[in-house]
Amino acid sequence: MERKNTFNDIANEYDRFRPNYPDELFTDIVKFAGIGKDAAILEIGCGTGQATKGFVNDGYENLTCIELGENLAKLTREKFKDKTNVKIINTDFETWRDESSDFDLAISGTAFHFIQPQEIGYRKVYNLLNEQGSIAFFWTVHVPSYDDVFNKIRDSYKRYAPQVDDSKNPSIEQIITERSHLTLKDGLFKELEVKQYRWSDTYTANEYISLLNTNSRHQLLPEGVRFKLFREINEAIEECGGTVIKPQAVVLYLARKNPQ
């Protein structure tokens, strides 16, 4: 199974346990794009509608949302069933065809990296935007913590799933450099702005396990390995007071279409 397909089987858990995007992110997107409430917005990989909700709550309801997962699309369609201009289309973005090609803004929350090859994805978004169009792609980025409880958790990863050990992850700075290069490399977009949003969330042991279970790399672990790993993580958290404080980060990439 590909990583992008793992979320469909855990749609309800994903909706419940994944952290919400901060309100400031949506404010910054709207300000950069300079759009009105009637703007045509394209969302690539809407998942359970977490980013969709941010725009709808701010009064932007002309959204076309593409989602590969059938269960994810069904959940999001039900969530916005009273919003007649919020369209949820259950298909893959790579083969989806749209006649208008006149979107004011394209957004994607922790999803656009699944569009492969990335160069084709950026080119398709470029063609779907009008001449004044903008992109706002953003990702939740894992931030390692090195306090006692997370060091114990890290030991469990080294025993059961060293390929998921977060000490091997690229830094946020490295991630930003790579994504910035991808955004600008073909000259399709210009005036790149990168913003970061940081905060911390507190989880009980069970909540933290539920959060981890929504991660595609954990979903791809053999069931027996995942069970043992999660059992030890749960025990480590309980031994250290019953809760963990997890640092969170979202990185936003804003850019304008560069008319050719």
Phi, psi of 35 (to 5 degrees): -100, 155
Find the helix or strand (DSSP H, E) in which 24 lies: helix 23-33
- The CA-atom distances, in angstroms, between 107 and each of 183, 215, 223 are 13, 21, 34
Answer yes or no: are the C-beta atoms of 238 and 209 closer than 8 Å.
Answer: no
| Alpha carbon distance 217, 161 (integer Å) | 10
216 confidence band (pLDDT: 50, 70, 90): confident
pLDDT at 3: 47
Give the type of residue at 241.
Answer: G
Give the type of residue at 109.
Answer: G
Secondary structure letter of residue 22 according to DSSP? P
| Alpha carbon distance 252, 35 (integer Å) | 17
- Render pLDDT for 44-70 as a digit per residue (tens, 0 to 9): 999 999 999 999 999 999 999 999 999
Q: What is the pTM of this model?
A: 0.93
pLDDT at 15: 85
pLDDT at 9: 62
- Render pLDDT for 63-115 as a digit per residue (tens, 0 to 9): 999 999 999 999 999 999 999 999 999 999 999 998 667 999 999 999 999 99
Q: Which residues contact 135 (CB under 8 A, 6 or more apart)?
A: 105, 106, 107, 125, 129, 183, 189, 253, 254, 255, 257
Q: What is the rounded average pLDDT for all residues in the chain?
A: 94
241 confidence band (pLDDT: 50, 70, 90): very high
| Cβ neighbours of 77 (radius 10 Å) | 18
Average pLDDT rounded to a whole number, residues 214-239? 94
Q: Are strands 129-140 and 189-204 parallel, antiparallel or unpaired?
A: unpaired
- Sketch the domain layout of the chain as residue ranges: 3-143+170-200+247-257
Assign 128 to helix, strand or coil. helix
Assign 220 to helix, strand or coil. coil
Average pLDDT rounded to a whole number, residues 164-187? 95
Give the type of residue at 167.
Answer: S
| Cβ neighbours of 116 (radius 10 Å) | 11
The per-residue DSSP string of 63-79 comes to: EEEEES-HHHHHHHHHH
Answer yes or no: are the C-beta atoms of 229 and 160 closer than 8 Å.
Answer: yes
Q: Give CATH for domain 3-143+170-200+247-257.
A: 3.40.50.150
Rounded to an integer, what is the distance from CA 255 to the centroid of its chain? 18
Residue 1, pLDDT above cutoff 50? no
| Structure tokens belonging to residue 87 | 């369209």
pLDDT at 7: 61
